[in-house]
Structure formats: C-alpha cells, structure tokens
C-alpha cells in the first residue's frame, strides 16, 4: 500500500527555509541601518541665485537665504532639541572675520529620510567691505546645532559647520551658484578672537 505524501511537512519545511533566509538576509541590513546612523547634512543658498546690488553701500544689507536640512537616515528619525544658531559674517582680510547677523531656528523633529527647507531673510548690522586685494565680498555662514537620534539611549551630538560665499561687487554675481554644503571646520576660534579686538565696526 502506497504511503500518502505529507504536504503539511513540506509546507512547514518551506516556511522554515523562508524564515531562515529572511532572517539572515534582513538582519545584516537592519543592523547596518541602526548600528551606525549618519549625521544630518546641511546646505545653504544665499541671495536665491539672484544678483545683489553691492555698488551703492548703505548702512545694512538684506541677506536672503535658503537652508536645506536633510536627515540622511532612512530608518531613524532625528530630533534637534536646541535652537540652531546661524551666523552670517564676512572677511575684510584673510586674517579677520566680522559678524553681520545671527539667525535662530527653533527645535524640531525630522522624520526618517526627511528634509526641511528654511527660506528667510536677515538684515545685517553694517555693510560688508570688499576682501582686500579682490573685487568681491567674502561672506561666511556658520551653523551650530545639536541633534539626537530617535534611538533608546541616544546622546546629543554637536555639529559646527560652515561655508564661504563670494559675491562680485561689480556685477552682483556669486562665485558659487546654487546650494553650498556646510562642512567642517565651521567656527575658527582664532578668527573669532580677532573680532573682539576689532572694535571699529
């Protein structure tokens, strides 16, 4: 008498095999996503790619900016628990930096892989000078922020990033078009010290 084929056992074996393959394939992926999360990225566009009138100095200048903040982690959210501080400065020469304006962004949460754009304008405290020996104004943007991953036991991480944007004073065009990524080093302690000693502004 022929033995009946046990389909239940076959299906059970297939299920165990699929589970095992899924476990060993997905586990390394999940570990890579959660064990070493990436830092957020920041980039900025000054003056919205429009020409800026630098030929008629006034008591101040309006800096239009467009800031991008990107959570590069597809599986982990980010929380910015403190205000983000953005400082706009310029270089009158290669050994000095003078502060022009500050901007603060309130704390917020950024979901998995999400981006945020902040478009705004700040008025400077004075009109920037041309960088010595050139025909452009060298603006500097510095960003100081802290963030936490949405993970159990996550600690605060602090970032200090910056970039330089040159604007030609004769035609108002920028040396770097579009968005510029903010990178390290952001704040220079030696230049910041010179600002305090330079009291003619």
β-strands 108-110, 62-70 pairing: unpaired
Q: What is the pTM of this model?
A: 0.76
Residue 109 belongs to what domain range?
37-197
Query: Are 29 and 89 within one domain?
Result: no
* pLDDT tens per residue across span 126-161: 899 999 989 999 999 999 999 999 987 789 999 999
Q: Are residues 101 and 12 located together in one domain of the fold?
A: no
Pair 88, 138 in one domain: yes
Looking at the fold, whether 20 and 86 belong to one and the same domain comes out as no
3-state SS class at 134: coil
The DSSP element (H or E) to which 189 belongs, if any, is: helix 189-197
Same-domain pairing of 109 and 157? yes
Find the largest Cα–Cα distance for the chain. Answer: 107
CA separation, residue 199 to residues 98, 157, 193, 195 (Å): 10, 34, 12, 8
The reply to whether 192 and 96 lie within a common domain is yes
Name the DSSP class of 133: T
The predicted-structure confidence for 151-187, as pLDDT tens digits, reads as follows: 877 899 999 999 999 998 888 788 888 899 999 875 5
């Amino acid at each position: 008498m022929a033995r009946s084929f046990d389909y239940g056992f076959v299906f059970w074996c297939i299920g165990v095999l699929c589970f095992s393959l899924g476990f060993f394939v997905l586990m390394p992926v999940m570990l890579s996503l959660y064990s070493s999360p990436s830092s957020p990225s920041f980039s900025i566009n000054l003056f919205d790619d429009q020409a800026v009138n630098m030929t008629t100095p006034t008591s101040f200048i309006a800096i239009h900016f467009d800031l991008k903040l990107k959570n590069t982690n597809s599986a982990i959210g980010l929380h910015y628990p403190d205000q983000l501080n953005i400082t706009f400065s310029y270089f009158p020469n290669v050994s000095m930096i003078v502060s022009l304006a500050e901007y603060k962004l309130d704390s917020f949460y950024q979901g998995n892989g999400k981006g945020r754009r902040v478009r705004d304008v700040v008025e400077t405290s004075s009109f920037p000078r041309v960088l010595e020996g050139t025909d452009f104004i060298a603006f500097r943007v510095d960003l100081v922020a802290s963030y936490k991953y949405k993970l159990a036991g996550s600690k605060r991480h602090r970032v200090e990033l910056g970039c330089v944007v040159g604007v030609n004073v004769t035609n108002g065009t920028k040396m770097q078009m579009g968005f510029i990524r903010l990178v390290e080093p952001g704040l220079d302690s030696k230049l910041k010290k010179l600002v305090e000693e330079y009291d003619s502004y």
